Structure 1
Amino acid sequence: MVAAALHGETSRVALFMAATAGNVLGAVVNFVLGRFLIRFEGRRWFPISPAARQKAETLFARYGQPVLLLSWLPIVGDPLTLVAGLLRMPFALFLVFVMIGKALRYGVVLWLTP
């Protein structure tokens, strides 16, 4: 995204929208895995390790649903979205927190890009 912004051929609004939408869709996949496919945890293809899941559950227990604002963070972000599905968080509320967090991330990255 930064390279495309620096190149200047694509509008920053389009880059922002595409990056945010793509990242939110990835979070939705993790949410669905947590909600419906957790029985496959431990399989080689499952995207979240048991240790990462435990760390995310601890964060969720401590800070509640707004912790999803941090879903953009490397390492803990994906497990947080998986745990949201495990805990059967309402999907609409999940989307609100995840979209805000990821949009802020890409907004800041683009704002800092000359």
Structure 2
Amino acid sequence: MFDFIIVFASSLLAATIAPFYSEVVLAAVLTRQPDAAVLLWVLASTGNTLGSVVNWWLGKYLLHYQHRRWFPVKPDQLARAQHWFQRLGIWSLLFAWAPVGGDALTFIAGIMKVRLPLFVALVFIGKGLRYLIVIYFAEQLLL
């Protein structure tokens, strides 16, 4: 049971702004729980998507404080990010799994007020595919 909690928690943490890599944890647990690949995939994909929802929420609600000195994004950076997101569109959320820029993308989606159900669906698809690939390669190494 502890293995499953670790996979879920590490996946959730990895999707937030904290620097963490859940793929290593998933692969390690898969070596101990090889028959639980489907459950591990569900837990990792769900946890990582929920972590992205945290970023979405932060983007949506912290925008109210954008004119404060402590706000982490400068106005010109915010304008560039919004322009970039508008140009690429909501389909770019399929790439929210990317190690570089994926977390920022989910934060910007909150700023852009992307509807939560659509956000969750697109992010889950992208992250779910990534974890399928991780599980596939981890299982190949186990053979």
**What SS does the corresponding residue of 1:72 show, helix, strand or coil?**
coil
Alpha-carbon shift at residue 7 of structure 1 (Å): 2.4
1:27 alignment counterpart: 52
Q: Normalized per residue, which structure has more helix?
A: 2
Question: Contact 2:96/2:123 (CA < 8 Å) preserved in 1?
Answer: yes
Aligned length: 111
| Identity among equivalent pairs (%) | 34
Alpha-carbon shift at residue 34 of structure 1 (Å): 0.8
CA RMSD of aligned residues (A): 2.4
Q: Which amino acid aligns with 1:38?
A: L
Structure with the greater alpha carbon radius of gyration: 2
Q: Which amino acid aligns with 1:105?
A: R
CA distance in 1, matches of 2:100, 2:79: 12
C-alpha spacing 1:53/1:78, structure 2 compared with 1 (3 Å): farther
Output aligned runs, 1:30-41, within 5 Å: 30-40=55-65
Alpha-carbon shift at residue 6 of structure 1 (Å): 1.9
Q: After the TM superposition, which of the residue ranges 56-65 and 25-34 deviates more from structure 2?
A: 56-65
C-alpha spacing 1:26/1:43, structure 2 compared with 1 (3 Å): farther
1:97 alignment counterpart: 122
Q: After the TM superposition, which of the residue ranges 65-74 and 34-43 deviates more from structure 2?
A: 34-43
C-alpha spacing 1:97/1:53, structure 2 compared with 1 (3 Å): farther
Output aligned runs, 1:1-114, within 5 Å: 1-8=26-33, 11-40=36-65, 43=70, 56-113=81-138, 114=140
TM (normalized to structure 1)?
A: 0.82
In structure 1, runs of 5+ residues without a counterpart are: none
Alpha-carbon shift at residue 63 of structure 1 (Å): 1.4
